[in-house]
Structure 1
Amino acid sequence: MKLDPFYLIVDSAQWIERLVPLGVKLVQLRIKDRNEEDIRHQIRVARTVCSAHACQLIVNDYWQLAIEEACDFIHLGQEDLAEADLAAIRAAGLKLGVSTHDEAELAKALAAEPDYVALGPIYPTILKKMKWAPQGLERLSWWRERVHPLPLVAIGGLNTERIEGVFAHGADSAAVVTDITLNADPEGRTREWIRKTEAWR
């Protein structure tokens, strides 16, 4: 499986409506602290937009809703992975991405037979408080050897100036949140990401 090198992560369908039409081909909808009805609605809106623009939608955490809403890709953190019904996920035909931060988590992720593995944070991140120190590029290279031939996603503190480094050290896709969503010009920054990742498509 091949992932687009530009992996956008946003927390609402509104962001997807705003940015996917610019040419985004891989986006994760990562919603926290909303009720089920709202999450289901946002998944439906996101699916409609992504389908219209040939963009791969990945739903974070809510694997039951992803199955019910006929999505085809989910991403699970380690806690969600431990609680998820992997047999049901596979039976529904969903592809699976898993977050990892250390070797123990990597072992658990690989045991789940995912479709990609994510490593982070590569650089310091302001998105959320992390108990892990920045992984750095050398660790990314080591993860590349461990997860081969699965696609490897780099996440955490990435911006357009750091793209080349993560790809040079084995990442197949660079995930980004705040460099776009906190930017004064999210649309312009999205176009810049698309342009600067073109070489890896």
Structure 2
Amino acid sequence: MLHPFYLIVDDPQWISRLAPAGLKLVQLRIKNKSGDALMQSLRQGLTVARNEGITLVINDHWQLAIDLKAEWLHLGQEDLEDADLKALRRAGVRIGISTHTLDELDRALSFEPDYIAIGPVFPARGKQVDYPSLGASGIAKWRQKVTCPLVAIGGIRLEQATELRAAGADSLCVITDVLADVDPAARCRAWINATL
């Protein structure tokens, strides 16, 4: 079962920094490295997470997830073209898939994922997204179609946590609301307390 608070970071140092706040679920999304540097960062993230009792989800890099014996992998819609889902399943890797539209949801569900990410729930603050915001009503609508855990992502602030959980989100995923805060550790702790 996924923890109700899900943080995305771009560097394993964030995991070490925020572990004392009680972080239990984190995705390591590294876009600016490749080759050995990428492998080293993912390995470091997995080591820190395992030592701290944190579930780590690797973003995109499905072959490295297998090679590093990761437990979790997150895939975007475009990643579904290339990823060898059968090999991932054989390796025991659990899979989450991003969705933005009902068509993407139907496609994602055909792969029998371990969770579905829905977004953007609100206008994203960290990157440009070419999809309309779904809001709490979108979560409620998608909840009726999804039996696996449902992760809400996109522009979410701490003040919206109660509403989104009530709408049916099992887990709330954020980046900016924690990492851009003046005190990321305190904000992370507040999120964890709000979603228990």
Query: TM-score, structure 1 length as denominator?
Result: 0.95
Matched, 1:65 2:60: no
Give the structure 1 partner of residue 118 of structure 2. 119
1:10-38 superposed Cα distances (whole Å, 9 cap, x missing partner): 01111111112321110000110312211
Partners of 1:161 and 1:31 in 2: CA distance: 28
**1:92 CA drift (Å):** 0.7
Give the structure 2 partner of residue 190 of structure 1. 188
Give the structure 2 partner of residue 155 of structure 1. 153
Partners of 1:162 and 1:70 in 2: CA distance: 35
The runs of at least 4 aligned residues of structure 1 exceeding 3 Å deviation read none
Give the structure 1 partner of residue 174 of structure 2. 176
1:14-69 superposed Cα distances (whole Å, 9 cap, x missing partner): 11111123211100001103122111111111111111111100000001001101
**1:124 CA drift (Å):** 0.8
Q: Quick check: 1:19–1:190 contact (8 Å CA) kept in 2?
A: yes
Q: Residue type of the partner of 1:108?
A: R
Unaligned runs of 5+ in 1: none
**1:151 CA drift (Å):** 0.3
Unaligned runs of 5+ in 2: none
Give the structure 2 partner of residue 133 of structure 1. 132
Q: Residue type of the partner of 2:18?
A: L
1:87-145 superposed Cα distances (whole Å, 9 cap, x missing partner): 11111110000000001111110111100001001011121111101111111101101
Q: Residue type of the partner of 2:130?
A: K
Count of paired positions: 196
Q: Cα RMSD (Å) of the superposition?
A: 0.9
